[in-house]
Every structure is written in structure tokens, then in C-alpha cells.
Chain A
Amino acid sequence: MRPLAQCRFHRVALAIGIWGVSVLIAPSAGAQTLTLTVSPSTITFAAADPDTTPSIAASSITVSYRVRNNATGSWRISLLASGDLTAGSATIPITNVTWTASPTPRFQAGTLSRTLAQTLASGSGNVQNTTTGTVVFRLANSWTYNVGSYSTSVVFTLTAP
């Protein structure tokens, strides 16, 4: 038979433990809800004379996003290319692709990378209504590009811790 004092201590300790669980798990109950859509899903850089068109602009992309249950946190939309533009063994470095974006300051310009995700947009708190931004990619044209049909993909990622 346990002494009465020890039983009471057990009950208190158990209560503290359960309370700790509820506090630490609280973020999971209100996990961020993020939505991101990108349209169109395909862009093309038209063939052009590098002397007259040193930078080839693709059609603009609309990025729609929404961030909820993120009252005190930050969020970020990043871009990461899956690789260089490739056509068989020929490549065009993906760093030759840059972008401009609006509206600022949420959205920012940058240069694509295949190794490190680059920030396209960032903010903090919630974005209760679906909000849009516009991105225009540009390819630096060059006489050094060999003939071919090059392609790659770019992943947009909205993250919110």
C-alpha cells in the first residue's frame, strides 16, 4: 500500500505531463493551410536573333496563393529549376534565365538556379483571400547556343513554417 503523499504526487505529475502534451501539440490542431496555383503551366522562349533580341521574354505567369492559420508565422514562395535547359547533350545554363515579378515588395526579381531554391515572394501572417502575382521569365539570348529544342521545369513551392 502506497503512502497517500506518493499517490498525490503521481496524480499531479500526470496532470502536468498531459498539459504539456496539449500545449506542444497545439500547432498541429491549427496547421497552416496553403494553396498555390501557377498558370499557365508551360512557357516558351521564342527563337530570336541575339543581336536584335538579347533577352527573350516568355509570356507572363500568374501565381495565385493563399495562406491561412498562419497568424504569427512567415511564408515564402520559392523557385527551383529541375536542371539546365537541355536538348540531348546540349545545355543552356539555367542561370541564363531571370525573372521579374510584381507586385513588389512581396514579389521580387531573381535568377533561376538548379541547386538552390530562389525566393520569388515572401511575407508574414495570413493571406486570407486568394492573391495573385505576375512573373515574367527572360532568357539571355546568345550566339553560343547550339541548335536544338531545349526544355526544363521549374517548381514553385509555397512554404510556411
Chain B
Amino acid sequence: MKHLKSLILGVTAAAIAAAQGVGAATATGSVSASVTVSAMAKLTLSSATVTFANADPDTSPIIAAAEGALTITAKGKTSTGATIALTLLAADDLRSGGDRIPIANITWTASGPGFAAGTMSKVTAQPVGSWANSGSRTGTQSFAMVNSWSYAAGSYTTTAAYTLTAP
């Protein structure tokens, strides 16, 4: 009788194990996914012009740009650890016929992560911002011009170019 109980339990356990072993059928497939991220840069300025109003040098030794702060959005994709750089280079001094105001008389302050203050140059591109790795960065740039009694009357203009580099 004792042997009989062992036989029944043993057979039942084996049957359960067999049923569990074949209970889950599976079939599989696979797909490889890839994406190539290429270097890319995009720059947006809130205004394409900056204007300094006529003012008395005694009362307004520094003239802020009439447009207020420019909003700059610099977007770039670069390699891991590489630096995205934004620079500004003036084409020339401010000129009105034969008269000129040195472009170095224009400075700017900046706000926003990675943005920097600076002074304009017609010789060397000046850094406006730099950031490690890819991303979209927004900041502001506020221009001001040193006023002076030495400036000849006239309408002065120049141009300046921003360059955003994402190596």
C-alpha cells in the first residue's frame, strides 16, 4: 500500500512537469533600427536691425539700441563633447560718407546660459556664445554704443554677421 501511494504521486508530478514544459509556445522575429544624426546649425534673431538714436553725449553717454534686447536662438547638432560656437563680426566701422565711428564703440551685454558679453570688431569674430554638445539655446543680446561729441553729424551704418558653427 505504501508503494502504491508513491507511484501515484510520482506519476502525477511527472505529468505536471511535462505539461508546464510545453505550455508556452513562442515564435520570434527581429528588426534592426538605425538613424544617422548629421551636423546641423540653425540661428534665429528676433530683429535684423539695430538702431541707436541721436542723443546728447552729456546726458546719454551710452546709447542703448532702440530695438531693446535681441532674442537669439542657437540650435545645433554636433559630436559628443564638441563645442557649438556663435560669433559676431562687423563688416566695417559705422560709416557715413567719409566719416566713421569705430565699431569698437559698440558693446553688448548678454543673458542666457552660454551667452557672453563683448565688444564688436571688424577684424576678429567675437564670441557671443558657446555650448558643449547638441542642443537648442536661447538668450538675449543688448547692444549699446558709446556716445561722443567727436562724432560728425551723419547717418552711419554698417553690417555685422553672426556665425553659428556646429562641427
List chain A positions with a Cβ less than 8 A from chain B: 6, 9-10, 13-14, 16-18, 20-21, 23-25, 27-28, 31-38, 40-47, 49-51, 56, 58, 61, 63, 65, 85, 87-90, 92, 97, 137, 139, 143-161
Contacts and interface: CB of A to CB of B under 8 A. Distances in A.
A30 B34 CA distance: 40
Interface in B84-106: none
Contacts of B32: 41-43, 151-154
B15 A150 contact: no
A161 B29 CA distance: 18
**Nearest 3 CB-CB pairings of A with B:** A24-B15, A38-B29, A45-B35
A143 B135 contact: yes
B161 interface: no
B79 A28 contact: no
B80 A148 contact: yes
A25 to B, nearest CB: 5
B23 A41 contact: no
Contacts of A40: 31
Contacts of B26: 34, 157-160
B160 to A, nearest CB: 25
A161 B24 contact: yes
Contacts of B155: none
Contacts of A139: 35
A153 B38 contact: no
Contacts of A157: 26-28
B35 A47 contact: yes
Contacts of B11: 17-18, 20-21
Contacts of B38: 47, 147
A144 B33 CA distance: 19
B4 to A, nearest CB: 5
Given A24-B19, A28-B18, A143-B77, A137 B25 contact: no
B79 A148 contact: yes
Nearest to B10: A17
A24 B18 contact: yes
B123 interface: no
B30 A156 contact: yes
A16 B38 CA distance: 72
